[in-house]
């Protein structure tokens, strides 16, 4: 009881919360300095990929090329397992745990009107599974639709919107649907938003591992990709449930939001990757920020005061600090501290703006901005 009273008091003191956050970042920077790779060590991201994984991917490509779709479908889970290399997997679990703690507390499951524990816990697990149909869709789109990544503007936009955005958002929605009947019966919009966000978080945890295989230093996207997928899937899940609750009034709105999210997701990736859009790459951060703003705007509607023992503001800021610190430590171990900072700086700025939006939007915020 004394500890509960202490936490309730201290985590609502802005000075205490900021000291904890700064302390986490300082310790993270010190650890990153201690484990940083030598400047003379060549960076080889491909070298961290297990040979068995590369061989298995070759097999999947052969199955797709020969049109053996059923065999390909059942072969994909093993590829996911082989690709779960220790370092990135541990980092994905740390960041996932931080954001899950925030989502769970946002749902106030201890209250009668809060989200239900089993649905929240099932969300990330279903999100991880949603990578399965996503990977299958990649091979199917390449072989059947000839939809492949290209550096050209028109072809690149087509690939990222009709390829990446479409398959990822539909796959996450597909794995959210098994939870919809329970959400619909209860009629809780907050549960729809946050359980769907948990599905998006699970997807991001699994997908983030591939950043170290395919993108090298863009692994700094660990900082924003989790919240990006949480916002995308949360807003889609909420829109779909609203469309079911009020089909005449909101079915059209639900369809429009799903399509808008697909386009936003595709443009987010296209702005980062396509050479023709390099000068506009900052717009990708703006897309992530706008989605976070809408997510917080929806969330604040259902927050019930007074807050829990640990303030939601403290949970959110500590989660952000832990994500930044763990990301910096891992990147420093393979890139060196200076390159790690450069890789993470733009995502960190976007995350900083999300912090500002949280402090502006959430009624439980204890820090004025």
pLDDT for the residue 132: 96
In a domain, 199, yes or no: yes
Q: Final residue of a domain: which of 84, 102, 136?
A: 84
Task: Tell me the DSSP string of 151-177.
Answer: SSHHHHHHIIIIIIIHHHHHHHHHHHG
> Per-block average pLDDT, block size 10, for the chain (369 residues)?
82 91 95 82 57 87 95 94 83 92 92 90 97 96 92 92 96 97 94 97 88 53 84 97 95 96 95 89 88 91 77 92 91 84 81 88 69
In a domain, 368, yes or no: no
Asked if residue 248 is part of any domain, the answer here is: yes
Q: Is residue 366 part of a domain?
A: no
Same-domain pairing of 127 and 186: yes
Do 36 and 67 lie in one domain? The reply is no
Structure tokens at 232: 């995308």
Q: Is residue 369 part of a domain?
A: no
Least Cα distance to 302 among 225, 238, 363 occurs for 363
Token pair of 91, please? Answer: 């980092």
Q: What is the pTM (predicted TM-score) of this model?
A: 0.92
Say if residue 97 is in the same domain as residue 155: yes
Number of C-alpha atoms within 13 angstroms, CB side, residue 233? 34
Q: Which of 84, 108, 142 is the last residue of a domain?
A: 84
Evaluated on CA atoms 360, 289, 211, 201, the torsion sign reads positive
Looking at the fold, whether 335 and 191 belong to one and the same domain comes out as yes
Burial class (CB in 10 A: 0-12, 13-18, 19+), 314: buried
Please give the residue range of the domain that contains residue 183. 2-49+86-361
Residue 327 confidence (pLDDT) = 87
Specify whether 12 is located in the same domain as 118. Answer: yes
Assess whether 71 and 171 both reside in one domain: no
Tokens representing 263 are 């386009």
Looking at the fold, whether 129 and 113 belong to one and the same domain comes out as yes
At 215 the pLDDT is 46
Q: How high is the pLDDT of residue 216? A: 47
Give the pLDDT of residue 47: 46
Number of domains in the chain: 2
């Amino acid at each position: 009881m004394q500890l509960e009273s202490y936490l309730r008091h201290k985590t609502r003191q802005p000075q205490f919360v900021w000291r904890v956050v700064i302390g986490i970042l300082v310790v993270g920077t010190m650890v990153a300095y201690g484990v940083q790779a030598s400047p003379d060590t060549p960076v080889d991201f491909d070298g961290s990929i297990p040979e068995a994984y590369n061989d298995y991917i070759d097999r999947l490509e052969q199955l797709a090329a020969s049109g053996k779709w059923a065999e390909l479908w059942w072969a994909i889970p093993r590829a996911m397992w082989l690709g779960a290399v220790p370092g990135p997997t541990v980092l994905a679990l740390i960041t996932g745990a931080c954001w899950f703690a925030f989502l769970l507390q946002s749902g106030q499951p201890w209250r009668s009107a809060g989200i239900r524990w089993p649905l929240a816990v099932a969300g990330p697990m279903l999100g991880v599974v949603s990578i399965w149909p996503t990977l299958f869709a990649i091979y199917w789109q390449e072989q059947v639709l000839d939809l492949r990544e290209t550096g050209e503007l028109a072809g690149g936009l087509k690939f990222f919107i009709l390829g990446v955005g479409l398959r990822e958002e539909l796959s996450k929605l597909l794995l959210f649907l098994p939870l919809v009947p329970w959400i619909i019966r209860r009629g809780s919009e907050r549960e729809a938003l946050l359980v769907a966000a948990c599905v998006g978080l699970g997807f991001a945890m699994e997908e983030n591992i591939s950043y170290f295989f395919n993108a090298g230093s863009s692994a700094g996207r660990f900082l924003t990709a989790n919240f990006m997928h949480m916002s995308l899937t949360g807003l889609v899940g909420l829109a779909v449930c609203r469309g079911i609750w009020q089909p005449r009034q909101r079915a059209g709105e639900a369809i429009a939001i799903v399509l808008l999210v697909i386009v936003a997701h595709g443009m987010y990736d296209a702005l980062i990757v396509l050479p023709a859009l390099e000068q506009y790459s900052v717009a990708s951060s703006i897309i992530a920020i706008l989605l976070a703003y809408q997510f917080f705007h929806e969330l604040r509607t259902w927050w019930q005061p007074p807050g829990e023992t640990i303030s939601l503001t403290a949970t959110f800021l500590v989660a952000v600090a832990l994500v930044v610190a763990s990301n910096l430590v891992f990147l420093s171990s393979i890139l060196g501290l200076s390159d790690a900072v450069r890789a993470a700086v733009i995502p960190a700025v976007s995350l900083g703006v999300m912090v500002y939006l949280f402090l502006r939007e959430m009624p439980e915020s204890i820090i004025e901005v």
